Structure 1
């Protein structure tokens, strides 16, 4: 009798774990996107479109913030995010949890938000988040399931009109992490690169690539090289590193001039942010008098 009880224990543990998982996490049946503006959160399946979007750059300049915000788990996230996002035209966040406090902050700062609904934890949506003053022309959600944790990692492909008459394609990525080998990692990047191959204008690809191994770095760089992207160099470079000494966060770009890029130290997340400034290459861009 005791033996039967002992044999039942592992099955009971698994049953409890599955029940707990299903209680905490909810996964959408397909990729979907939330658009956040003021008090409104509108859900759309995979893509949002608005052909009347306003120009993203300011006098040919694009100031960018890239940051894994760690689900806003640190007490000072709001103060630091306000400081870092000041005067930015584009904010790309990873591990954003759409809590009431984050939604209130977005409203207060008068941002338009596009977030991938990768999954919900206790009914709170989590995924990558783009913040801009106005809407994108197009924003599409992409997810890739973590093979071990069974939770999706997310990426957002968006386009924004520029004063040069071109369109900027932006990929905000939180790459799959816990894998044996690089198959899922490669598949996630390949899906996004396929979208980028159809874009003729400038491109920014940035986020938390979870590039903690040499194999992952090779896959990442090989994929992005196929669409002619180059990586920003950072001064200072305090990007968060894995125990291997390899940085996890990156900015890649094409068709823009990189003016500055830096990764300052911050205690408001488990990742340090990256701040960069670009200018458009088109000589006909309207400049201030």
Structure 2
């Protein structure tokens, strides 16, 4: 009888959670990318892809300083101070769980960033999803979402290409991988769709974000899919990347065609994840 009551209670809790999600969150009909530019008075939502006919080089004298960080929807009070600190001097900022609140919009405008965000869903009129920020807009930015099987909320990914000073094109994937799944089917599908965009790219590549790689089976899928495009994982020192109870790190950076000069993952209490700071240079 106790087991039956417990099962019933869990079902009730799960049902309430689903109803709450449906009430609070608004899901777009399809993946959308919002472009943030100094020249526009407001973010401009676009369907699937943003295109820029006259991009400017991303690197500075062949250097690309990168920040990758899950900022936990800016739920911690000191997120602005920490984000300002870690983004200082960076040419590319890849954020996950970015909640486009008025405070974040103001921070982006004050720092004079340009960028693109995937509109995974809306909560209380604020869009949430992965966000790319840079001094210059990319040549191309395409949004992709994958629905969480349990919570029915999408996780997002952004495929973008940036011009480089040597005439090459840098391809970047910013990913927040699906989390709660019974197996790895949805996880593999999300990674494969994004990585397929890179298979025909001839220039340098960065693949980074919160991979939710909390199990050995997920790590195996991640390694297999990313191995198909020849990227190498970046190793950090110090390495304070957040870990699951299994001891596996959740956040990763993979590169191809770039030299890793320095990589560190410092500690902070401004999010439930620690930032990844990587200094890269063109070969």
Which TM-score bucket, shorter chain as reference? over 0.9
CA-based RMSD of the aligned residues comes to: 1.7
Cα contact 2:67–2:277 (8 A) shared by 1? yes
Counterpart of 1:23 in structure 2 is 23
Counterpart of 2:205 in structure 1 is 203
Change (3 A) 1:178 1:16: closer
Counterpart of 1:263 in structure 2 is 265
Counterpart of 2:3 in structure 1 is none
Cα contact 1:115–1:127 (8 A) shared by 2? yes
Change (3 A) 1:15 1:48: same
Change (3 A) 1:13 1:89: closer
Counterpart of 1:119 in structure 2 is 121
Q: Matches of 1:70 and 1:130 in 2, distance apart?
A: 15
Counterpart of 2:5 in structure 1 is none
Task: Summarize deviations over 1:127-183 as a string: whole Å, max 9, x none.
Answer: 000000011000000000000010000000000000111000000000000001100
Query: Which is higher, the Rg of structure 1 or of structure 2?
Result: 1
Q: Matches of 2:52 and 2:155 in 1, distance apart?
A: 26
Counterpart of 1:80 in structure 2 is 82
Counterpart of 1:107 in structure 2 is 109
Could you state the TM-score of these two structures normalised by the residue count of structure 1?
0.91
Please, which runs of 5 or more residues in structure 2 have no aligned partner?
1-8
Cα contact 1:47–1:141 (8 A) shared by 2? yes
Q: Matches of 2:162 and 2:156 in 1, distance apart?
A: 20
Q: Matches of 1:204 and 1:51 in 2, distance apart?
A: 22
Q: Give 2:234's match in structure 1, choosing from 232, 235, 240.
A: 232
Q: Secondary structure at the match of 2:197?
A: helix
Please, which runs of 5 or more residues in structure 1 have no aligned partner?
1-8, 282-289
Deviation at 1:12, TM superposition (A): 9.1
1:34 and 2:34 correspond:
yes
Deviation at 1:50, TM superposition (A): 0.2
Deviation at 1:11, TM superposition (A): 10
Counterpart of 1:5 in structure 2 is none
Could you state the TM-score of these two structures normalised by the residue count of structure 2?
0.93
Cα contact 1:32–1:117 (8 A) shared by 2? yes
Number of equivalenced pairs = 273
Cα contact 2:18–2:151 (8 A) shared by 1? no
Cα contact 1:23–1:122 (8 A) shared by 2? no
Task: Summarize deviations over 1:109-141 as a string: whole Å, max 9, x none.
Answer: 000020000001111100000000011000000
Q: Matches of 1:66 and 1:11 in 2, distance apart?
A: 37
